[in-house]
Structure 1
């Protein structure tokens, strides 16, 4: 988009001095990006101007357009945030900072961790200023429009990320016009065969559908005029991705989907909405169970409308949406349509508006409760971007919860103390167990007691939402702090003794405070507590405490528990031995299924020998350091090992068969397989296979990844 076109578009609603600010930002960015080009070959400056153009279509304010034009200058040029702040003010600089990716020179374990940190930074910045995510959505939309210039692998990765994060986020914010395009372009890049198949099928019967639509509109228009109701009536086809998702979800072919069209009726008042609904139901028979009143019960993204599906002419179903013009504006533009960042709104008004959106507050709450960036993003996907149920409080308020939620999730959504004091629940006026799964429409009442002992650790396995899970964990951190501090210090001392270090000398010196600070704890007491409740392992702390203290010659390992065990005949060890000790019973843990090539650790169990785990198994964090023993692989040539895999991809007919065929070609034994699909059209396949080692496993994974529409294959832990 040329800058003149952007200025002309923005000039329709901005003042002259605001247009001057946008033009000044353009000149600043043009100089900063001088000599840079995109993969398409065009000058880089065209991209930020196009992003600002998308936001001008939403009639965003001058500050937003300015930040949009500058959104890449800090990340991709020599310009600093201080330069931006000096030229355009602190607000613009803060927005640009929220859009700037973290530098790769920082130490990350993986690309996924780096990406997760970037997403977390963006979400937290969004929670503080909504304009951050509006610019990011416009940025992603323009990048999706120009995706064809990138290699296929990168196109697929970006398209997948768009479906998982950015399209659901646009939906959450009610910006349907951006959501629809993101979904359709993502599908075109992930599954072009299905995309163009649907496009071609829709083209074939376009004339027939348009004629049918004209007939419906004419009939309705005539009846409304007879009743002196003024309305704007239009028809539109369903979007490609929504049709595809319906085919996948309902297991139907294209010709089995009847409601491909929707009629939209826009009127002046809410009263007129219900009047039009009554007239429609007198003309055509409504389909049972297909009426939704989003005016009385708005969606969490502020969407309001009446939806009904009727049996139209020729006996074909057709969906009708009825709303006011203001509701329609919000349906199209969502949060961007609100007055919050328009001229004349005060800071207090903006804060009040943000307070209405619990989504933002809960993002900040989640950020405080979750240290790991990847866990933060996964929790956000689970709580906000997945399937949901809508339940009622006894007073009639509606709460949205992740699908599969139980009464405890409801209790903690109401208030932390309601959850902590929960002793039972009623659903639809009947007592239910705490693991009862809630359904849309349920009326939920939480039973509490001031004399409750607090949460049970078992609750962590019952709740579905990360919000509830984090609140339960925080209770144990706070209420059992002294116990955790004592337990953590004991575990660290035991681990130090195991390595022949004197705990008294090390834990009483300045070294322990330095290590606590390295782990971002204010003092050693907080670090001990974290070890006690499982937030960090004792071995991690000991490794930091003893850095530089080890000698080249390894000291003998002291295993008092092992020495006390009676000698027994050598048992099968699955190709694993305990270093320095013979004739020990060894078993591989089923929770993480280690295989030769994995880094492994073992610990002495009570009466069951040594349990061997992958070094990254989370269950090791609960094991006392004094029971850990060094283990290694040996003599594994004749053994086979079980591995559980999770395969993710775009759901389509024949996908499971193709995956199983790929596995069969590797000649591995498949002992179990199951699959499911969600309403976004994503498929998840779980399978158990037997392999010899990590290299053998990798060959199987590579074969599965070669199947079309497969995005990821990963090992899972129980």
Structure 2
């Protein structure tokens, strides 16, 4: 059972580093308010609700969090679960506490049930984090206590919470350098998500505990003798064990047996200063056999979460393998507590949230990248998905370290290529990249980079820029986003040129004065189409959404003869219908029977179809989803399929629903004209609800062409639904 934290226990922990009476009184006032407002509320475990905010505050006090963070932790559920408002908190505890509670409240409202909203809500969580990193520290502490007390939840809820924790919160704790919390979250998640594996590893550790402890103690004794003889500085040395989840990952990912995971035996040496770290390393290597390629200098090249240490792996006389970590006291504190060590409260220190955030962004490089990314995020579901994908692949999962020719460390996710590297340096470098060199050797742009590679990118001013293929080559969401952005802009430029040329030709044919065609004119005449400037107008014409005839007609004050345009469309459709006789449908097991396309559903090539043997009229071919199929005699149904290489066009119907407004019909016709479809019939009605319902009979060769047209029609302003029409 999880230990219940009392206020006395909390305040004793806080008094280890906070001594100002005014700060302690504010914390006590926050506790009293939380106790009063949560009175009568209970957790699912049956404990009074106040035990939760006390536990969250205690976790943060163990990290030496400041007074405002502790106050916010005690109050973090008030706005969501009680009648207390943010203004109430502002009036009693100030703006800083109010903003912290608001940030935590917004994250707490996140629902992870639906994939699209999940991305959107993950985005909101990360954006809240970008504004004040203390918000996520409180939320991680909140999640840790919820994981400690998760047994009271249903099994289904436990799995949901553990999956979410392993997917988002544990990686965030890792990236923030909160190793102790990250390890506990991972182990608790594994216990829920894969209990057999968890207990198996736990039992193996327990069974070998005495043997391994003896091995570590013996090795410490030997190392102590060498350090005493060769080192004047003070030091601490002790053994450590990997957490269960990290052992599980190596057993599963590397297909290793428990006994083969050599760095379970690990020793840490803490010294007074950086120079001593390297002295100790020299002594270790002089007296033990170092295993090749296992030395890592994270002091010279810190990890993105600020972690610094020397790692080396050695072989003892009895053949046992040990990982040795060497670091200073400060490095050890940051290794255990990460960004929380930076936020640790220091008495009498001048406090500035903005300054602290800036310093963290400088030290925590990925956090600085997050701040930049939040400045350029789209406020829509696709933008949210891209943002979260970038966070997950480029930040939470990044773990390959490469170098620029000048020695700058660039962190990428596994599988990344020179293209990903180029875009991580700068968008212009990526857009102008024509080649790459890795370790002074020319490599293709799809070459997979590895830790330690020195990468340089060759660029050309006249480079045509990225191609569609680059999207497949790039492995980071950041690079793919930039490539798509370049291609979209390039496509917009082409549509702009095409649209402008069409308008220019139409203007010349009508001797129209284009000097009046400016942003003001466009906004006045085309705002109903959601076209508000000249550039957008040309692009819409380029897409075929707007007709150049419509634009010039507005410019010269002339009404387009819509009837004659429609009449020409219908005459063209009739010519197509009268010249196409073969159905293009083959009946399984029958030779050239009489076949006709059912008029009730009008299937087209690409649709799933079924044949029905009629009495005296041959075989009627229906769409698989035709409502009439259900009422037909089953033993008269036969298998039919479309012939290959069909060139004729087939009629079908669609129903378009939208808001009735001027020009909506002409825009529908214009959009169809820009596709491979032909209009055969058109029927438009308006009802008293100002709704426009247009039924079109269209001629198409393929279902794909029809669906493309339907997608384009949905882009028209005020059209909100399109469907195939069966009668």
How does the TM-score come out when normalised to structure 1? 0.72
Q: Among 566, 569, 592, which residue is 2:583 paired with?
A: 569
**Matches of 1:185 and 1:246 in 2, distance apart?**
17
Question: What is aligned with 2:439?
Answer: 428
Question: What is aligned with 1:285?
Answer: 289
Q: Among 50, 56, 65, which residue is 1:60 paired with?
A: 65
Q: How far off is 1:97 after superposition?
A: 1.6
1:324-403 matched pairs, under 5 angstroms: 324-338=328-342, 342=346, 343-346=349-352, 349-356=355-362, 357-367=364-374, 368-370=376-378, 371-372=380-381, 373-403=384-414
Q: How far off is 1:27 after superposition?
A: 1.7
Q: Deviations over 1:375-414 (max 9, x none)?
A: 4323311111225321110101110112222222111111
Q: 1:328 to 1:624 in 2, by over 3 A?
A: same
Residue aligned with 2:318, SS: helix
**Matches of 1:42 and 1:488 in 2, distance apart?**
68
Q: Among 594, 597, 609, which residue is 2:701 paired with?
A: 609
Residue aligned with 1:314, SS: coil
Q: Among 185, 188, 192, which residue is 2:188 paired with?
A: 185
Q: Contact 2:601/2:726 (CA < 8 Å) preserved in 1?
A: no
**Matches of 1:48 and 1:488 in 2, distance apart?**
61
Question: What is aligned with 1:157?
Answer: 160
Q: Deviations over 1:597-636 (max 9, x none)?
A: 99xx999879993235999x9x98689979x9954899xx
Q: How far off is 1:273 after superposition?
A: 1.1
Q: 1:95 to 1:102 in 2, by over 3 A?
A: closer
Q: How far off is 1:142 after superposition?
A: 0.6
Residue aligned with 2:323, SS: strand
Q: Deviations over 1:457-513 (max 9, x none)?
A: 43333222222222233334556645556889999xxxxxxxxxxxxxxx9898975
Residue aligned with 1:235, SS: strand
Q: Deviations over 1:533-556 (max 9, x none)?
A: 99xx99xxxxxxxxxxxxxxxx99
Question: What is aligned with 1:70?
Answer: 75
Question: What is aligned with 1:222?
Answer: 225
Question: What is aligned with 1:302?
Answer: 306
Q: Among 30, 33, 52, which residue is 1:28 paired with?
A: 33
Q: How far off is 1:369 after superposition?
A: 3.2
Q: How far off is 1:416 after superposition?
A: 1.9
Q: How far off is 1:171 after superposition?
A: 0.8
Q: Among 313, 324, 327, which residue is 1:323 paired with?
A: 327
1:541-560 matched pairs, under 5 angstroms: none
Superposed CA RMSD in Å reads 4.2
**Matches of 2:244 and 2:542 in 1, distance apart?**
49
Q: 1:319 to 1:582 in 2, by over 3 A?
A: same
Q: Contact 2:312/2:323 (CA < 8 Å) preserved in 1?
A: yes
Q: Deviations over 1:303-360 (max 9, x none)?
A: 0111111112421111111111111001001011115865324456324313313323
Q: Among 561, 574, 586, which residue is 2:606 paired with?
A: 586
Q: Contact 1:422/1:448 (CA < 8 Å) preserved in 2?
A: yes
Q: Contact 2:436/2:443 (CA < 8 Å) preserved in 1?
A: yes
Question: What is aligned with 1:637?
Answer: none
Q: How far off is 1:254 after superposition?
A: 2.1
Relative to structure 2, which stretch is displaced further, 465-474 or 200-209?
A: 465-474
**Matches of 1:198 and 1:394 in 2, distance apart?**
44
How does the TM-score come out when normalised to structure 2? 0.71
Q: Contact 2:90/2:97 (CA < 8 Å) preserved in 1?
A: yes
Q: How far off is 1:48 after superposition?
A: 1.2
Gaps of at least 5 residues in structure 2 are 503-520, 547-565, 589-596, 609-622, 627-652, 655-671, 678-698
Question: What is aligned with 1:437?
Answer: 448
Q: How far off is 1:102 after superposition?
A: 6.9
Structure label with greater radius of gyration: 2
Gaps of at least 5 residues in structure 1 are 492-506, 517-521, 539-554, 589-594, 635-718
Q: How far off is 1:179 after superposition?
A: 0.6
Q: 1:585 to 1:188 in 2, by over 3 A?
A: same
Q: Deviations over 1:616-666 (max 9, x none)?
A: x9x98689979x9954899xxxxxxxxxxxxxxxxxxxxxxxxxxxxxxxx
Q: Does 1:466 align with 2:472?
A: no
Q: 1:122 to 1:624 in 2, by over 3 A?
A: closer
Question: What is aligned with 1:232?
Answer: 236
Q: How far off is 1:147 after superposition?
A: 0.8
Q: Contact 2:471/2:480 (CA < 8 Å) preserved in 1?
A: yes
